[in-house]
Amino acid sequence: MSITGRRTLLRICGSLCPLFAIGQTLPDDTTSHEMKTVVVTSKVATTSVALRRDGTLSWDARSFGDLPKLLGNADPIRYAQTLPGVQTNSELDAGLHIQGCDNTHNQLSIQGVPIYNATHLLGFFSVFNASHYEAMTLKKSANRGADASRLGGMVSMELPGIPTDTLGGELSVGLISSQGTLRFPLGRKSGLALSGRGSYLNLLYSRWLSWNEMSMRYSFFDTNATWTWQPNVRHSVWVDAYMGQDKTKMSQDEYLARIGLKWRNLMTAAHWHYRDPNGLALRSTFYYTSYHNKLYLRQADMLFHLPSDISTLGYKGNVAWGGWNVGAGFALHDILPQAPQSEGLYNRTLSSQSRYKTQEYIAYATYTHMLSSHLESSVGLRTSAYTDYTHTTHFSADPSVDITYTRANWQLTANYSMRHQYIFQTGTTSLGMPTEFWTSIGEDARPQWGHNVSLTASVYLWEGRYRVSFDAYYKRLFNQIEYDGDMMKFLNTDYNLQENLLHGNGHNYGVSVTILKRTGKITGWLGYAFGRARRRFTDPSYKGVFSASHERPHELNAVATYRVSRRWTLSGTYVFASGTPFTAPSHFYILNGLLNTEYGNHNGHRLRPYSRLDLSVNFLFCKSHGCEHGLNFSVYNVTGRNNDITCRLKVHNGRYRYSHFSLIRFQMPSVNYYLKF
């Protein structure tokens, strides 16, 4: 920035110091010099990821378009998996594992309103249309009173904060789906944002969806609508809605088999924020969110149904003033766990599973105080009362303590927190299919709870161009639950959910180091994480300590964006991680024409290490009158790595061996046309 000319310089200096005001008489011992030019320079961070004071990572959603895409989709949850402390998953693993926690321990939300199943295409990417949101925030642990009743972390897609005053939007057209967002003003103080995404996978990839004489048809869509009203600088109102749906049909004519899967999300919420000049801030949110899924299987004379669903009606209110942050809320849950029903020529099985209607009430308070110019403390308490489906009420009081020491270019934070969790998800897989379901504590399941201790340090180097971060954590977990059932039990026995659940305790621990480059043409980060997630069950047939099924002890992530010129942007992501555990068969035999299998140690084997490189090129070929037209070329899995999803048993000439099964055995290129205006 340059300021030229003596008159302009004197006016600016006069506003800063009376001695330099125009017409001011200078002391006799003062020498006057005429300065021709004053140049003030600063280095502005161009990275899209920022670290807030409370440890929350905020990622600007506008930067997602520069990163490699999967089948043409810029997916926030896939990108979140490249952050330190968040585990990278296989292609069909829909879970999000933060600091060794199970997927069900984390909350995925839109502006704090939970979304109970956030995956499309059997876990390939999420339901979040990136262009509709302003930012994605991630908190690795629920360590403040206002945080959710979850043992793990929280990921929230944040809505735009200010109504638009001009027409604008984005459009992206890809090979399997297209998505767009339109923002337009409704007067001077309100605006509306509409987004949609739909697939046409069957049109171009029907052959890709057929294998081994089995054909599949698949489709999905997302819709978002957000109305924003800001009557004045103190008040802001959002009314937000989301709906998405997936449909899958598979058929295998050789066995006269038909399989159908359908799942959908619905969410609507109203948010009101108030802030006055004295620092008083009020927040209120009313919301409704639900998730329904269904599976049916028809083969010859047999028909099988597997429905489940969850819906929640709730309210959250918060008051912040000075160092205090106080809030309360409730959530009314209506849950149908797995309720299998089968009927055929020789048998008929109807589940006795009933609906769970439960209630959760919470109240919390957090006080933050500066102990000195560099030392800050935060002390909080979150209380909750949960009434389960047996009409038993469970009470908890979860304390939390933060101590933060800050200097000019570095910060050190130590934290302790306790948390209770009352609803959880489980099932036979983690693929985002209807075989996963939500359930509640109750007659045979006590509240899950845990202690969390963490230490976080960050330092800015080379005039703030780089940030180096270090994290260490330990979580002690109690009343953990894992599902031990399989699909055959649905068909051949009277199904009882509680008989298929394992109960036990566990602990997670780990460290991570991240180097972030914040400025320049090249931005991004390099991170390494080591973590363990161990479990011990009360079932006498499971003796010893086992690795959790999602555990990956070692993980290396690299993300980089290079702005070559105004028109060209290159980016890439790379991940290398340990393989996940699985339970391998030890013996098998055939009885009455049926294959029976006996398994070895629980999670006693591991898949091969996971490795993947993705690359992307953005070319802006036209920018005029506020419009941008460009193309994105992305390649998912550039090296064609055969990453394992599972191991399966193959039998040949009386001998058996393990065969690694990989879904993506080749590079997956995609091309997208995008328009921004």
Mind listing the pLDDT tens digit for each residue in 149-175?
999 999 999 998 888 888 999 999 988
- Give pLDDT, residue 667: 76
Convert the pLDDT of each residue in 226-240 to its tens digit: 999 999 999 999 999
| Mean pLDDT on 524-530 | 93
Say whether pLDDT at 256 is over 90: no
pLDDT digits (tens, 9 = 90+) for 294-346: 888 887 677 888 889 999 999 999 999 999 999 999 999 999 987 777 776 55
The average pLDDT across 272-294 equals 94
Instruction: Determine whether 11 is exposed, middle or buried from the number of CB atoms within 10 Å of its CB (0-12, 13-18, 19+).
Output: middle
Give the pLDDT of residue 27: 38
Query: Hey, what's the torsion of the CAs at 74, 77, 82, 84, to 10 degrees?
Result: 150
Q: Where are the beta strands (DSSP E) in 491-521?
A: 501-517
DSSP for 116-165, please give it. S--EEGGGTEES--GGG-SEEEEESS--STTS-S-SS-EEEEEPPSS--S
Q: How far apart are CA 517 and CA 526, in angstroms?
A: 9
Enclosing H/E stretch for 327: strand 324-336
- What pLDDT is stored for residue 555 in this prediction? 93
Q: Please report the pLDDT score of residue 511 as a whole number.
A: 95
Q: What are phi and psi of 236, to 5 degrees?
A: -140, 140
Of 199, 200, 182, nearest to 191 by C-alpha is: 182
Q: Which of 395, 391, 400, 602 is nearest to 504 (CA)?
A: 602
Tell which wins on pLDDT, 96 or 21: 96
Q: Which helix (H) or strand (E) holds 79?
A: helix 76-80
Q: 135-167 burial by CB neighbour count: b if 16+ within 10 A, else e?
A: bbbbbbbbbbbbbbbbbbbbbbbbbbeebbeee
Report the distance separating Cα 96 and Cα 227, nearest Å: 29
Q: What is the DSSP track for 175-236?
A: SSEEEEEEEEESSSSEEEEEEEEEE-HHHH-TTTTEETTEEEEEEEEEEEEEEEE-SSSSEE
Contact 96, 104 (CB under 8 A): no
Q: Which residue has the higher pLDDT, 489 or 512?
A: 512
Nearest residue to 558 via CA among 511, 520, 591, 513? 513
Q: Token digits for 430?
A: 């983690």
C-alpha 412 chain-centroid distance: 26
Choose the most confident range, by mean pLDDT, from 28-32, 250-254, 454-458, 656-660: 454-458
Query: Would you place residue 63 in the very low, low, confident or very high pLDDT band (cuts 50, 70, 90)?
Result: confident
Q: Highest mean pLDDT range out of 112-116, 547-551, 606-610?
A: 112-116
Q: Confidence class of residue 204 from pLDDT cuts 50, 70 and 90?
A: low
- Please state, rounded to an integer, the average pLDDT across all residues of the chain: 83
Listed by start position, the domains of the chain span 2-39, 49-676
Average pLDDT, integer, range 117-136: 86
Query: Would you list the DSSP string of 426-476?
Result: EES-SSSSTTEEEEE-BTTBPPEEEEEEEEEEEEEETTTTEEEEEEEEEEE
User: For residues 607 and 646, what is the distance between their CA atoms, to the nearest angstrom?
Assistant: 7
Task: Specify whether the CB–CB gap between 372 and 427 falls below 8 A.
Answer: no
d(CA 366, CA 145) in angstroms, rounded, equals 6
20 pLDDT exceeds 60? no
Residues 6+ apart with CB under 8 A from 392: 442
Residue 345 is predicted with a pLDDT of 53
Nearest to 137 by CA among 97, 79, 224, 68: 79
296 or 372, which is more confident? 372
Is the pLDDT reported for residue 54 higher than 70? yes
Tokens of 407: 């200097």
The encoded tokens of residue 303 equal 């028909």
DSSP-derived 3-state class of residue 620: strand
Place of tokens 């669903």: 309
Predicted pLDDT at 29: 40
Say how far apart CA 109 and CA 95 lie, in whole Å.
Answer: 14
Q: Which residues of 468-505 are buried (b: 16+ CB within 10 A; e: fewer)?
A: ebebbbebebbbbbbbbbeeebbeeeebebeebbbebb
pLDDT level of residue 487 (50, 70, 90 thresholds): low
pLDDT of the residue at 250: 78
What stretch of H or E contains 487?
helix 487-492
For 133, what's the count of Cα atoms within 13 Å in the CB-facing half-sphere?
26
pLDDT of residue 71: 75
Q: What residues are paired with 2 via a beta bridge?
A: 39
Global confidence as pTM: 0.86
pLDDT value for 112? 94
Residue 233 in tokens:
């600088």
Asked whether the predicted pLDDT for residue 591 surpasses 70, the reply is no
Question: In this predicted model, what pLDDT tens digit does every residue of 87-103 receive, in sequence order?
Answer: 877 776 667 889 989 88
Superfamily of domain covering 49-676: TonB-dependent receptor, beta-barrel domain (2.40.170.20)
Does residue 83 have a pLDDT over 90?
A: no
**Biggest alpha carbon distance in the chain?**
112
3-state secondary structure of 491: helix
| CA–CA gap between residue 111 and residue 103 (Å, rounded) | 19
Q: Which pair of tokens denotes residue 622?
A: 């036209």
- Separate counts of helices (H) and strands (E) for the chain: 4, 45
Could you give the percent of the chain with pLDDT greater than 70? 80
Amino acid at 1: M
pLDDT at 8 > cutoff 50: no
The 10s digit of each residue's pLDDT in 376-404 is 999 999 999 999 999 999 999 999 999 99
pLDDT at 136 over 80: yes
Q: In this structure, what token pair is assigned to residue 662?
A: 């990989």
Range with the lowest mean pLDDT among 146-150, 453-457, 497-501? 497-501
Residue 637 has pLDDT above 90, yes or no: no
Give the three-state DSSP class for 374: coil
Higher pLDDT, 451 or 602: 451
Q: How far apart are CA 651 and CA 167, in angstroms?
A: 63
pLDDT of residue 276: 92
